[in-house]
Amino acid sequence: MSASTLSSILNKHTLTNENFTDWKRNLKIVLTIEKLNFVLNTHGPPEPPVDAPNEVFLAYQRWKDSDDMTRCYMIASMSTVLQAQHEDYITTCQIMDNLEDMFSGQAAEKRREALSNIINYRLKAGSSVKEHMLKVMGYLADAQSNGADIDAESQLTIHNL
């Protein structure tokens, strides 16, 4: 996949104040393709001393290059307000930690809404069972993508409501 294709994925889903979960999912897709996903949760090695072996310096430089590339993907795919708030962060992990703090309430609210939809959604007489099941599955996916941990047995129970 070309860099422009990857960039277009993130450009279509620019991070704003309403779509952190979707943006993060798309970012992970792009970073996985680019083999950069590991830097999201890794603070990385410390900068090696001047007298460190060459292998240590090369490993540090590879991590730094990966982190810099990921940081650029992240910053470029944010609204200008969020860009300004995060442009001085040094590592990807610092940016992601801050975004998680900023938007954790958003995911919790979306999770509550999806779970409420699951609980309150009922099959209406004469309605399509298939459409009903697709709607329930969509609510389950929304809940899970926003952090709900619903095991397989519970999903089956929910589907049979």
- Read off the pLDDT of residues 139-157 as tens digits, 9 standing for 90 and up: 887 777 767 777 777 766 6
CB 29 within 8 Å of CB 75: no
> Six-digit token pair at 5?
């294709």
pLDDT of residue 78: 93
**What pLDDT is attached to residue 161?**
58
More confident call, 145 vs 4 = 145
From CA 148, how far away is CA 137, in angstroms rounded? Answer: 14
Domain ranges of the chain: 3-159
pLDDT tens profile 7-30: 677 777 789 888 888 898 889 988
**pLDDT tens for each residue of 30-88:** 899 989 999 988 888 889 999 999 999 999 999 999 999 999 999 999 999 999 999 99
95, HSE (Cβ side, Cα atoms, 13 Å): 28
- Could you give the CA distance from residue 5 to residue 160 in angstroms, rounded to a whole number? 41
Query: How far out from the chain centre does Cα 134 lie?
Result: 24
User: Mind listing the pLDDT tens digit for each residue in 97-138?
Assistant: 999 899 877 767 777 887 888 778 888 888 888 888 888 888
pLDDT in the model for residue 62: 94
Inter-residue contact 150 to 144 (CB < 8 Å) = yes
**pLDDT for 2 beyond 60:** no
